Chain A
Amino acid sequence: NAGVMQNPRHLVRRRGQEARLRCSPMKGHSHVYWYRQLPEEGLKFMVYLQKENIIDESGMPKERFSAEFPKEGPSILRIQQVVRGDSAAYFCASSPRQATNEKLFFGSGTQLSVL
């Protein structure tokens, strides 16, 4: 049973370009969470999605960031017109149920570098 798969592992973009980060949850998991981690810091919640629905996006910046989890295919975190401050590690996690009392399983992350 494969774990949470994220790709690409590393992504380099120039300022103003778009970044697309992909996450395939564990088999049987329909809940996906995205977190951002800056160097030497903890993980900051961004967004929580179920299939075709955004449940909680309270951690998402209001502009340039969007996320989706379609009925088929991986969850996508999209960052438009990237700026240097977007450089960070982005982690995806999944769970079979809402994480109120459920541990999350994390992927290896995508390291985004904005030049």
Chain B
Amino acid sequence: GESVGLHLPTLSVQEGDNSIINCAYSNSASDYFIWYKQESGKGPQFIIDIRSNMDKRQGQRVTVLLNKTVKHLSLQIAATQPGDSAVYFCAESSNTGKLIFGQGTTLQVKP
């Protein structure tokens, strides 16, 4: 069945360093992917998305990379800040119109 998984449950980085959060997906037919950020006690917040006809997309301090060959998605955060500390989820859109979420990676930023 469909599943989205993350390689590492927790990532700890030094403030100012770059962060890379990885995600593997299993449905090769998925054509839309999203990264969400969830802070404690809050709902998921949209960060960036990418469609399958692209392999890279950049936002403000964030970049998403999509490798369809190995079904891998990554989120890169440049110059990580304390405010980036949160749980990050990747999600893929199914053909039935719902998003399927992975387990999440906790990003801890050390001052």
The smallest C-beta distance from B107 to any residue of chain A, in angstroms, reads: 15
**Could you tell me if A100 and B44 are in contact, using CB atoms closer than 8 angstroms?**
no
The smallest C-beta distance from B86 to any residue of chain A, in angstroms, reads: 13
**Could you tell me if B104 and A42 are in contact, using CB atoms closer than 8 angstroms?**
yes
The smallest C-beta distance from A56 to any residue of chain B, in angstroms, reads: 5
**Could you tell me if B102 and A42 are in contact, using CB atoms closer than 8 angstroms?**
yes
**Could you tell me if A99 and B49 are in contact, using CB atoms closer than 8 angstroms?**
no
**Could you tell me if A101 and B31 are in contact, using CB atoms closer than 8 angstroms?**
yes
- Report the separation of the CA atoms of residues A52 and B49 in the bound assembly, to the nearest whole angstrom: 29
Q: Is B42 an interface residue (CB 8 A)?
A: yes
Q: Is B99 an interface residue (CB 8 A)?
A: yes
Q: Is A11 an interface residue (CB 8 A)?
A: no
Query: Residue on B with the closest CB to A101?
Result: B32
How many CB-defined contacts (below 8 Å) exist between A and B? 68
Q: Is A88 an interface residue (CB 8 A)?
A: no
Q: Is A71 an interface residue (CB 8 A)?
A: no
The smallest C-beta distance from A10 to any residue of chain B, in angstroms, reads: 10
**Could you tell me if A101 and B89 are in contact, using CB atoms closer than 8 angstroms?**
no
Per-position 1/0 for A1-33, Cβ under 8 A of B:
000100000000000000000000000000101
**Could you tell me if A100 and B32 are in contact, using CB atoms closer than 8 angstroms?**
yes
Residues of B near A44 (CB, < 8 A) are 101
Residues of B near A100 (CB, < 8 A) are 32, 93-95, 97
- Report the separation of the CA atoms of residues A107 and B43 in the bound assembly, to the nearest whole angstrom: 6
**Could you tell me if B97 and A99 are in contact, using CB atoms closer than 8 angstroms?**
yes
**Could you tell me if A109 and B43 are in contact, using CB atoms closer than 8 angstroms?**
yes
**Could you tell me if A45 and B99 are in contact, using CB atoms closer than 8 angstroms?**
yes
Q: Is A91 an interface residue (CB 8 A)?
A: yes
A positions within 8 Å CB-CB of B: 4, 31, 33, 35, 41-45, 48, 55-56, 58-59, 91, 93, 98-109
14 contacts between A and B (CB under 8 A): A41-B104, A44-B101, A45-B99, A59-B98, A91-B44, A93-B43, A99-B93, A101-B51, A101-B93, A104-B34, A105-B46, A106-B36, A106-B44, A109-B42
Shortest 6 CB-CB distances between A and B: which pairs?
A: A106-B43, A98-B97, A42-B101, A43-B101, A42-B103, A101-B32
